[in-house]
């Protein structure tokens, strides 16, 4: 575990509670193609085809990708879900500083 992980966890939880976030690969990619996502968060153990697609579409849309340093089950638990979440799309960060942590800056 890295030292930055608690900060990332807190930022993800804050974005989920105060902002607008979508969970799931299909919903995230769909919104990414429409240019509505400002940041994509991928679990470290996301399937390789998910990673390839997300990196490709995010490069086309000029959207940063943050790789969460944990599994999809840990990412789901952080969001209070009893299932794994491999892909998360941040539409609005709310009061979170997740965009700064990902290097996306304020847009």
Where residue 18 sits, what CATH number does that domain have? Answer: 3.30.1330.30
Query: Whole-angstrom Cα distance, residue 3 to residue 19?
Result: 25
How many domains are there within the chain? 1
If you count them, how many residues does the chain have?
Answer: 107
Q: Can you give the pTM of this predicted structure? A: 0.88
Whole-number percent of the chain with pLDDT over 90 = 82
Query: Whole-angstrom Cα distance, residue 47 to residue 37?
Result: 20
Each of the 107 residues of the chain gets a pLDDT tens digit; together they read 455 588 999 999 999 999 999 999 999 999 999 999 999 999 999 999 999 999 999 999 999 999 999 999 999 999 999 999 999 999 999 999 998 888 754 44
pLDDT at 5: 86
Burial class of 42 by CB neighbour count within 10 A (0 to 12, 13 to 18, 19+): buried
Within a domain: 74: yes
Within a domain: 107: no
pLDDT at 26: 95
Domain that holds residue 34: 5-94
| H or E element at residue 22 | strand 20-23
**At what angle are helices 48-61 and 25-33 packed, to 10 degrees?**
20
Q: In what order do the strands lie in the sheet with 39-43?
A: 20-23, 87-92, 39-43, 65-68
């Amino acid at each position: 575990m890295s030292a930055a992980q608690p900060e990332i966890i807190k930022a993800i939880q804050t974005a989920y509670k105060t902002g607008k976030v979508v969970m799931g690969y299909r919903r995230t990619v769909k919104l990414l193609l429409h240019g509505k996502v400002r940041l994509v968060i991928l679990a470290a153990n996301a399937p390789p085809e998910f990673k390839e697609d997300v990196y490709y579409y995010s490069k086309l849309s000029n959207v940063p990708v943050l790789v969460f340093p944990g599994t999809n089950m840990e990412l789901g638990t952080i969001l209070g879900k009893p299932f794994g979440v491999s892909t998360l799309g941040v539409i609005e960060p709310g009061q979170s500083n997740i965009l700064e942590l990902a290097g996306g800056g304020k847009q």
